[in-house]
């Protein structure tokens, strides 16, 4: 027995509903994939470095992090160091390599097509405090390293 016109319309609407949900999730996922393909566009610009002298000297690095992709990215500082003059020669490393966020949290989020500012702390051996201060004052201090970034459920490393 052929279905009634009303039932046929309802079934067609159900199929159209499936199509709407499927295309909407496709669009959201495609945005994520395009963002993943453009992840190299994530940019870290050190805007300020300052040395704090105390029981445990540290160098505070202020960053502006720009995310040109269409999806927010969560970032966890991993290995960031301060170098005197060049990051190429290992003996020019003046700080420790392990970085942490100044606010004590483990991660920070950069909005889609936006930027955020954050401060990262890196431990500084006491014997390098003056050398680091001089490098910053003379404009020779170079910040280099990598961070772990997470775009939805996918992780990658980004150079600083």
Give min distance, CB of 106 to another protein, in A.
20
Alpha carbon of 79 to those of 14, 96, 97, 120, 122: distances in Å? 52, 9, 5, 11, 9
**Quick one: 8 or 50, whose CB is closer to another protein?**
8
In the complex, least distance from residue 21 CB atom to another protein, rounded to whole angstroms: 6
Cα dist from 19 to 25, 29, 68, 118, whole Å: 10, 15, 30, 42
- With H, G, I as helix, E, B as strand and everything else as coil, classify residue 41: helix
Least Cα distance to 35 among 121, 113, 115 occurs for: 113
Point out which residues bind another protein (CB under 8 A). Answer: 1-3, 5, 7-9, 11-12, 14-16, 18-19, 21-23, 25-26, 28-30, 32-38, 71, 151-154
Q: How far is the CB of 45 from another protein (least distance, A)?
A: 24
Our CB check for another protein shows the closer of 2 and 90 to be 2
Residue number with CB closer to another protein (46 or 68):
68
Q: How far is the CB of 149 from another protein (least distance, A)?
A: 13
Tell me the C-alpha distance between 115 and 134, whole Å: 30
């Amino acid at each position: 027995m052929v279905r009634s016109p009303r039932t046929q319309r309802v079934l067609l609407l159900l199929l159209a509903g499936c199509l709407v949900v499927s295309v909407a999730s496709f669009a959201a996922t495609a945005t994520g994939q395009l963002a993943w393909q453009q992840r190299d566009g994530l940019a870290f610009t050190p805007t300020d470095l300052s040395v704090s002298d105390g029981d445990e000297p540290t160098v505070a690095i202020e960053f502006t992090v720009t995310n040109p992709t269409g999806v927010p990215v969560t970032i966890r500082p991993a290995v960031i160091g301060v170098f005197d003059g060049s990051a190429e020669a290992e003996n020019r490393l003046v700080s420790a390599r392990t970085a942490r966020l100044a606010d004590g949290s483990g991660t920070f989020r950069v909005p889609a097509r936006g930027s955020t500012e954050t401060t990262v702390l890196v431990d500084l051996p006491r014997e390098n405090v003056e050398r680091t201060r001089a490098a910053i004052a003379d404009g020779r201090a170079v910040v280099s390293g990598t961070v772990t970034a997470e775009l939805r459920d996918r992780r990658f490393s980004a150079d600083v």
